[in-house]
Amino acid sequence: MSTYRDQVLAQLETVRRNRDQAVTRFFDESLPLGERLQAALSAGTFVGDAELAKATAIVRDVKENALVRATALNGLSNRLTKDEALLTEIIHLLGDGSAPADVRRVALTTLQASQFGSQPMMVKQRPNYKNVLRGLLDDADQELRQNAAEFLALDRDEFVQRRLLSGLKDPNQAIVAPEVAIQYLAHDLHADMLPVLRDIARHPPNEAAKKEALRNLTLDPESKDLLVERLTDPNEAPEIRHVCAVALYQMDPALMRTLAKDIVANDDTDDELRAALLNTMSHLPLGTSAPEADDAFGARVAELEANTTSAPLKRMAEEYRKRSQ
């Protein structure tokens, strides 16, 4: 075998020794807190019965410093999918509002990571975990609230969907900002959400919410005219115009391309928007048929490529020309 492999094996051995020393230092209660925490950065996850037992004891010790408990729990992440009793304890800890926030936040991360391992015990505990997440929607800790809401939304949880929709209709009931609520709801967009999105698109509480509402109206035939209106409005923000282009593409690719060509050809249009639209036309096909030949537009794009001082626009004009050939 090679010298290279021998060198890498030697590095592995060095890392192993350093790691073992780091673990020893983390568990050494006689050391200052800062040294223990810093040592843990090199400890990786805990392995072997002795380390696992010590780390578990630290997590369970309510008198222990919260940062040490959080660090110990972080190092137990590979254990959670093998120890149902520990898993259940950590789910309970997550929901315990009296436990330190640092420990609960680590609990949430390690539990969510465990969702990637579908052992029978994880499947069995999932309803329990979801119930705790629902409880976190009203938690005092914003980080926990917001992340719990997103994890539930990713899971298409109806409880959080109702809460998010209520928040969009009545800001006093909002658990997250409206643009974020729209994004969470879009993980599982129901038809009954569309009227709310239409209303936000026309009467937005802020520009970010308007953008997300328009983006997700791609499934709403009633909103086609609105998307066209926003795409073609020269006073609309360029980013919102592009969002409308991509949304319109999924409804009516031919119409989107026709409108986009006019926008690109217009020298009064923002160059970044022109570049973005050429990018879109280069990558999103016109249905399943071959691209239409459009010599006039092709000539205009060639002119842009030759004359523009905008680097992104020049590059996208070249890209479009190559793809059209």
Report the site for another protein in 9-48 (rule: CB under 8 A). 9, 11-12, 15-16, 19, 34, 36-41, 43-45, 47-48
Q: Contact at 8 Å (CB) between 1 and 8?
A: no
- 269 contributes a contact to another protein by CB under 8 A: no
Report, in Å, the least distance between residue 250 CB and another protein.
7
The token duo for 76 is: 């137990």
Q: Which residue number, 123 or 296, has a Cβ lying nearer to another protein? A: 123
Q: Which residue number, 95 or 264, has a Cβ lying nearer to another protein? A: 264
Q: Which residue number, 135 or 312, has a Cβ lying nearer to another protein? A: 312
By CB under 8 A, which span of 157-165, 228-236, 298-306, 308-316 interacts with another protein?
308-316
Report 247-266 residues binding another protein (CB under 8 A): 247, 250
Among 287, 295, 296, 325, binds another protein (CB under 8 A): 287
Q: Which residue number, 104 or 296, has a Cβ lying nearer to another protein? A: 104
Give start and end residues of each alpha helix (H) in 96-141. Answer: 101-114, 120-136
Single-letter residue type at 282: S
By CB under 8 A, which span of 54-62, 129-137, 142-150, 295-303 interacts with another protein?
142-150
Single-letter residue type at 61: D
- 179 contributes a contact to another protein by CB under 8 A: yes
* C-alpha to C-alpha distance for 157 and 160, rounded to whole angstroms: 6
Among 63, 85, 98, 123, binds another protein (CB under 8 A): 123
Q: Which residue number, 3 or 295, has a Cβ lying nearer to another protein? A: 3
Report, in Å, the least distance between residue 314 CB and another protein.
10
Task: Give the Cβ contact number of residue 267 at 10 Å.
Answer: 10
Report 90-119 residues binding another protein (CB under 8 A): 102, 105-106, 109, 112-119
Distances (CA, A) of 112 to 101, 108, 205, 247, 301: 16, 6, 32, 32, 48
Distance of CA 176 to the CA centre of its chain: 15
Q: Which residue number, 85 or 123, has a Cβ lying nearer to another protein? A: 123
Report 149-178 residues binding another protein (CB under 8 A): 150-151, 154-156, 177
* C-alpha to C-alpha distance for 257 and 225, rounded to whole angstroms: 15
Report, in Å, the least distance between residue 180 CB and another protein.
5
Among 56, 216, 223, 308, binds another protein (CB under 8 A): 216
Distances (CA, A) of 128 to 104, 125, 132, 196: 16, 5, 6, 32
The CA-to-CA distance between both ends of the chain, in Å, stands at 50
* C-alpha to C-alpha distance for 54 and 61, rounded to whole angstroms: 11
Please, what is the Cα angle at 64 between 58 and 70, to 5 degrees?
Answer: 60
Q: Which residue number, 96 or 102, has a Cβ lying nearer to another protein? A: 102
